[in-house]
Amino acid sequence: MVARIVPVEPFDLVVFGVTGDLARKKLIPALYHRQRAGQMPESARVIGCARSELGREDFRKMVRLSLDEAIPEAYRDRDALYAFLDTLDYLQVDARSDAGWPELSAKLRENAHPVCAFYLAVGPTLFGEIAERIGRHGCRAEDCRVIVEKPIGHDLASARTLNRQLAAHFDEHQIYRIDHYLGKETVQNLMVLRFANALFEPLWRSEHVDHVQITVAERLGVEGRGDYYDRTGALRDMVQNHLLQLLCLVAMEPPARLEQEAIREEKIKVVRSLRPIEGADLAAKTVRAQYRAGVVAEQAVRGYLDEEGIDPESETETFVAIKAEIDNWRWAGVPFYLRTGKRMGYRVSEIVIQFKRIPHLIFGDRIGAVQDNRLVIRLQPDESVKLAMMVKTPGPKIRLKPVHLNLNLADTFEDRSPLAYERLLLDVIKGTATLFMHRSEVEAAWRWVDTIREGWSFLGRRPRTYTAGSWGPEESIALMVRDDRTWYEHLA
């Protein structure tokens, strides 16, 4: 059964930095898909803004080329393409000066819509300047929203500064801090799995869960972003936002209602309940490392210190493993193992809920090894939910075998699974902030991460190393082995 598509109300979407990779590779294709699905009204306007000298037709040609690269042949629709191109306009606007702003203000007053959203697909250093000029040049609509990408700062102090800059011109309910991981279909299924299935919710607690693993592994290296990445590292780039967001959705208490404020409140409680990792715990509960030369997908790749734009003496980590603990009633004594890295053996993002062993095995040891039940929620590359359980093999004797109950979203549902940005962009237009981060949540996450980062700096130890194409350094394996556990790496 295909879900009924309901068009959103007419809107204006202004995209600053529209000639950059984010807009061309993610935002524009996402909007095209919503146009093709019939969710964008005819009068909607998408206004691209950047410093480049482009005419309207030149911009549309650029968009068409971007769509040719990003959209598979099966989803190309001539009528939808031309309808989408008709929504596009372009203005040359300088975020650091007043050049182009009067023209943007005039454009927005022409056939203005009640809802106007500003997407800041630019570096965070420009957030404050753009927010200020939106107000000063009269660009605000009746219902005005602003969307900002990570990183929201590089530590707690800078995050607070950015939040203050935005708060000076927009109310908190108008600010949408986006994390594309939360737009993935499987991530949203987390709440449905927990709160709509009596099978799971009674077991989703310390009495029945042995531990939780969250892995976000990438095959790619720094890919031309060496200068940025060397100032950031895996802890800031991935743990502070993506992994902690996933942890929150796994660990949060049931909200009183399916409303954005109720859900966000429960997520904030989780971050505030994370036990600080400091002192002797830093060495015992965290691992950081850099990749060295190796082989990824049968291709030889160079080490991190040899990448373009990387300081040869850099101590920036490309891999992080953390044993996190949540100090509350539900999760007391249940470790959450977080792991992320570049140049790993496989591209995968998944959550593993490892259930505890059965208290007494009645079958004996001669009928096959009994594996503990495990729920694996995979976000990418293929979105799926697998439940590992024991069954008897066919035959006259009792022999046990582990099997998976497998829900593959692509196989189960005929309709195309929407891109993460499709849902998130339209949620902004609808005014639904459930999947976006609140200011308090961002700052609480930075507070926890800063303690780890400052502890590493105080210890003064260089990162460990791991071979590109592997699953990280030996120390990350030891992090689990010390607790008599292992990382889940069944990738079939």
Q: Active-site residue numbers?
A: 242
In contact, 288 and 320? CB cutoff 8 Å: yes
Residue the block writes with tokens 């000076």: 168
The amino acid at residue 392 is K
Whole-angstrom distance, CA of residue 169 vs CA of residue 250: 34
Radius of gyration for the chain, computed over Cα atoms and rounded to the nearest angstrom: 24
Q: Which phi and psi angles does 223 have, rounded to 5°?
A: 50, 55
Joined together, the tokens standing for residue 143 give: 């219902």
Round to the nearest angstrom and report the end-to-end CA distance of the chain: 28
Chain mean position to CA 422: 14
Q: Which residues contact 347 (CB under 8 A, 6 or more apart)?
A: 217, 218, 219, 220, 380, 381
Give all strands of the β-sheet with 286-292 in edge-to-edge order: 400-408, 384-392, 374-380, 348-355, 209-217, 335-341, 319-325, 286-292, 464-467
Say which residue the tokens 């049931």 belong to: 254
Alpha helices in 274-318 (DSSP H): 281-285
Strand 45-50 vs strand 11-16: parallel, antiparallel, or unpaired?
parallel
* DSSP conformation class of 230: H
Strand partners, 352: 213, 376
DSSP 463: P
